Each structure stands twice: as structure tokens, then as C-alpha cells.
Structure 1
Amino acid sequence: MDDAARCNALSLARIQHWMQAATTHPGGLDAGLALAGERHGLNIASVIDTPAGVDAHARLAIYADGYWARLIECLESEFPALLRMLGSQLFRFFARAYLSQHPSRSPSLHTLGAQFAAFLLHSQRRPANGARKSPTQSFALDLARLERAIAESGRAAGRERQLDKTNATSAAADATWFLTLLASDACTLSLPDTTRLLALRHAAECLRPWLRGKESEEPAEFERDYVAIRRHDYRVSMERLTDWQFFALRHAALRPATLGACARAASRRTRLQEGAVLGQLALWLPAAQQSGLVMLAMN
């Protein structure tokens, strides 16, 4: 049986699985062909029909190169500010290295960049003698973390259709609502899927222009800052937080917690008095709920 007849005899599903293994291997086409041969008992000559003088390997490489180019384009679309900062060549270098270690495993490309910021962090060399990373390096990491948080907030299942804005507004204006929050354990705080909390190494206002498609001329000096990425009425935005706001919300990020527990957690990290933190939370949280940042529930 010649190659053409053998190819016709193969099932479409078998050819598809062979081609997927061959063209998507993180080690490149040669490694993919070896794996595809082991899994499906086929070689390139038995599957790829080419005219005389045409290299089957080169023909298949078009699909393999196109697959990786498309994945890199997806990362470029999700991290446009980081792309501008690093430049196309350096960004693509890191993107290809990342995809080699974290190949796409999901039918949805929304999960592709989930570990990109962590990969960039672990790919950096540790400075000698315990020195700190350069501001430029940590600035790029903050950008990557912010852009991923923005993407996750935008794609998460939101509460826009569930919120009763009229009731939320009246509750915020009701003095009994404030007294209920002061009761500490009478109310539970949780975060919607659309909220992300980040502790930054650089001031949020230095990062904001990059997120808006511009470039900041401010020096990328170290400055601890806290932000929340939130979504309200389908619009994603970044909000700066005080330290007590950040640590109170972070306590409720994993599981719903009473306001008293959140106040105690923030007090431990900021050394503010627990009662003072609780009072500030009671004043701030109703507005935070209206903006889509948090969820409050009566116990």
C-alpha cells in the first residue's frame, strides 16, 4: 500500500490526534513528532501527502508555528501594558518560555495567562548578597499582576443582575445599618468573584498610566501600595485601599467572615485599635458594597 492509500485508510480522528500531538508539543515540532509516533504509531510520511520536491516537515511546521504564534498573541492581548514596557522581542521570549512550562490545557484561552506573573517572578535571578530586585523588574511584575487581575475581574461571573440598587442605597443611608455593622458579629463580609486584592511594590498612580495605554515618566521607585480591582455595572476599575481596608478585606477573601474577625485581622497587621478599625469599616463598607467591591450579609 502506497502512502496516499495508507493515509486514506486512516481514520480522521486518529489523524487529528496525531497532528495535535505533533504540532502542540512545548519542545517543538521534532519532539512533537516523536511523541505523536509513540502514541499513534504513525510517522510524518504516512500522514502528510506532499508533491514531489516539497518537504513534509516544512509543511507541518507552518501549523506548529501558527499554533504557538496564536498563543503568544493571546498573551499579548491580555498584557498590553507589559508588552509595551518590555518590548515585543523580550515579551515574546518570556511568553514562549512560559508556554513551554505551562502549555495550554483548557478549551478556553481565558486561563492561558493565569500563571504568567508568577512565572516572571520565579524566572528572575535572585540578587547577590540579599540585595533587592531592581525597581524596573518589580514594576514589570506589578504591571503583570494588575493586568491579570483586570482580566479575571472582567470575565468572572458578576452580580450586576442580582443587585437591587434601590435597597442598597436605602440601606446605606439608614442609621440602623451603621449600628448593625458596629455590632461586629451581626454581619458577614465576603468578596464577589469580580474583586481582586493586590499588595503592590510601587505606587498605584505610577502604574495607572501604563494601564491606560500611556507611559509614566515617574521613576519606578519602591513604594508599598494596596489596591482592589473591582467591577461595577460591567466596568472594571482599580481602587486604592488603606492598609486597614486591605487587610480587613483580605481576611474575608478566602471565606466569609464577621466584621469583628476582619477588624481583628486588620488590627494585628496595622497596630490600629480593633475598635477604631471596626468603626471605620462600619462607615466605609456600605459604600464599598454599592460600588461592587464587597458583599454584606446579615447573620
Structure 2
Amino acid sequence: MVEPELATMQRWMQGAILGRAAPLDVDAVVVGAAQDQGGLTAAQRLGLYARGYRARLMECLTAEFPCLLALAGEQVFQLFAAGYIAARPSTDPSLYGLGAGFADYLEATRPAGDDGPAALSALPAELARLDRARAEVQRAAGVERLGGPVLAADLLLTPGARLRRPDSVRLLTLGFDPGPLLAAVDRGGPIDPPPPCPTPVAVARSRWRVAVHALPVWRYAWLEALGEEGADVHVAAARAAQASGRETGAVIADLALWLPTAAGLGLVTI
């Protein structure tokens, strides 16, 4: 038998460990021992590796998605995770990349005809999105080492002043208030489905701690308008006023009070 090329073998190996059809001859690719010699056959060795590989991926997803795990329970969560691993095999050399598409997968596989934002079937994807945002913020470049000046309210009086959202901020619009749910997850044990309550939130890190902040519409819109590249604070305030139905002057006045707090929470920087 002609020995397969490395790329062909790698694709076969990935398919084999994920339980897909393996057209290659296992005994020709994997070294094994005859059963009468007391060792593992090629098929047994491959099966052992496949079970260990999938178990490791499941462990990673379990660690990264604690809110989804608490809501779904271990058995249902494993069904979600197993389906995701099989449908979207990891192509990232880092295990950190494994969960990047989990929320999108859960959204795409929701029951047909049950796609309303307040439907119970929307919760798994939303919780996965929240969990993933927390993981991303934990790893992102934050504000802890920037050493910049403390943002004062009088910055709003400076013409052309610009601010930006740090990379360690993620903005989400959830269909529920995450506060009670996160507190219940921290206590351990299962949680009840939260009642519908559209809530804009910012996931941010400050002093190396990740927190989830529920925001009024105008604050969310202002942070969204700033972007990671930065924007004029007054232009962003005008966009926030339009999004929230408020006067621009009222938004700027409220910003003057909130800006130091926002900087302290790691939501904004120069």
C-alpha cells in the first residue's frame, strides 16, 4: 500500500477521532499489536486516542461556558458540545479558539418555528455568547498597564477630545438581565431560566477582574459609537442621543458625571 501524504493522513485522523467514516486502512496507518500478544490493536489504539481527544475538548467547553452549563445541566450541555464538536471541528492550533463559534452553532440549530428573541430556545445561544465574551475579555489587552491619566469630567469641555473602547470590552444586547443569573452561577448548582428582559450590557475588565455591567441605552450607544479606534466624544454623544431618544445636551451632562466611573470600570480610555 502506498503511504498516504501527511495532509491526507491528518484529515483522515481528524475524521476518525470525531467518529466519521475513515476510508484508510487503520492497520496500515496506526501501529498495533496482535491481541494474542496482550497489546492493543490499531483500532483499539485509535479508539482510545479518539475518546481522550473528545473528552479534552468537552472539558475545555465545560470550563469556558459555566452559565450555559448551569442552565442546561451536564447531560444536555454535553449533547450541545458533542454536536458542536462534530459539526464544526476545531481548526485552531490553540484550544482557546475552540469555543469561538459555539454560540453561532446553538443559534443555527434552534428548533424551527421557535425563533423569537424571548423564546426559551434563545437562551442557550445567548448564554454561550455571554460566556464567550467573558473569556475573550479575560485574555484581551486591557487598560491595567496603560498608565494613562484618570479621565475627568472636564475632558468633555475640550474641543475634539477623543476616547475609545479598550479591546477588553465586549458589548452585547441580551434578552435577560444577567445580574441575578451570574450571582446564581457563582453560588453553584443549577439555575432557572431568567425572565425576558432586554438588557444592553458591557463585559469589561478592570484591575484584572472581569465584570458584566448592565447599561442604559444611551451609555451602550455611546460606547458603541466610540469604537475600538476611538471617536470624538461629542459626536458619539450625539449618536447616543439619537439612539436613546434623548437630547444631546442631556447625554453630555450625564456623561460628565459618569465618565470617571466608566474609566474606572475599564469601559473607556484615551
Question: Shorter-normalised TM-score: what interval?
Answer: 0.7 to 0.9
Please point out which of 74, 80, 87 is paired with 1:101: 87
* Contact 2:168-2:204 at 8 Å conserved across structures: yes
Q: Provide the identity percentage.
A: 33
Q: Per the alignment, in what secondary structure is the counterpart of residue 43 of structure 2?
A: helix
Could you tell me which of 72, 79, 84 is aligned with 2:58? 72
1:25 maps to a residue whose letter is G
What SS does the aligned partner of 1:115 have?
helix
Whether the 8 Å contact between 1:142 and 1:202 is mirrored in structure 2 is: no
TM-score (norm: length of structure 1): 0.78
Deviations 1:4-50 (A, max 9, x none): xx9xxx8xxx897666433322884452x32xx4xxxxx32223232
SS at match of 1:295: coil
Correspondence for 1:149: 133
What secondary structure is seen at the aligned counterpart in 2 of 1:197?
strand
- Aligned counterpart in structure 1 of residue 12 of structure 2, from 10, 22, 45: 22
Cα distance in 1 for residues equivalent to 2:178 and 2:230: 27
- Indicate the SS of the match to 2:15: coil
Q: Matches of 1:287 and 1:18 in 2, distance apart?
A: 55
User: What is the letter of the counterpart of residue 79 of structure 1?
Assistant: F
Tell me if the contact between 2:27 and 2:43 (Cα under 8 Å) persists in the aligned partners: no
Gaps of 5+ in 1: 38-42, 173-177
Partner of 2:68: 82
Aligned-pair CA distance for 1:201: 0.5
- Partner Cα separation in structure 2 for residue 259 and residue 159 of structure 1: 19
C-alpha offsets along residues 249-274 of structure 1, whole Å, 9 cap, x if unaligned? 11123531111221122112111011
Residues 235, 155 of structure 1: alpha-carbon distance in 2 compared, 3 angstrom cutoff: same
Shift of 1:59: 2.5
Alignment RMSD (CA, Å): 2.8
> Secondary structure at 1:70's aligned position in 2?
helix
- Aligned partner of 1:138 in structure 2 is 122
Q: Which has the larger radius of gyration?
A: 1
> Residue 212 of structure 1: which of 178, 186, 194 is its match?
186
Find the aligned partners of 2:16 and 2:137 in 1 and give their Cα distance. Answer: 29
Q: How far apart, in 1, do the equivalents of 2:45 and 2:116 lie?
A: 48
Return closer, same or farther for 1:26/1:56 CA change in 2, 3 Å cut-off.
Answer: closer
Task: Provide structure 2 residue ranges, at least 5 long, that are not aligned to the other structure.
Answer: none
Within the candidate set 96, 112, 124, 1:110 is matched to 96
**Equivalent position of 1:44 in the other structure:** 26
State the match for 2:77 in structure 1.
Answer: 91
Instruction: Call closer, same or farther: CA 1:190–1:17 in 2, change over 3 Å.
Output: same
Aligned length: 266
2: distance between equivalents of 1:192 and 1:215? 33
* SS class of match (2:91): coil
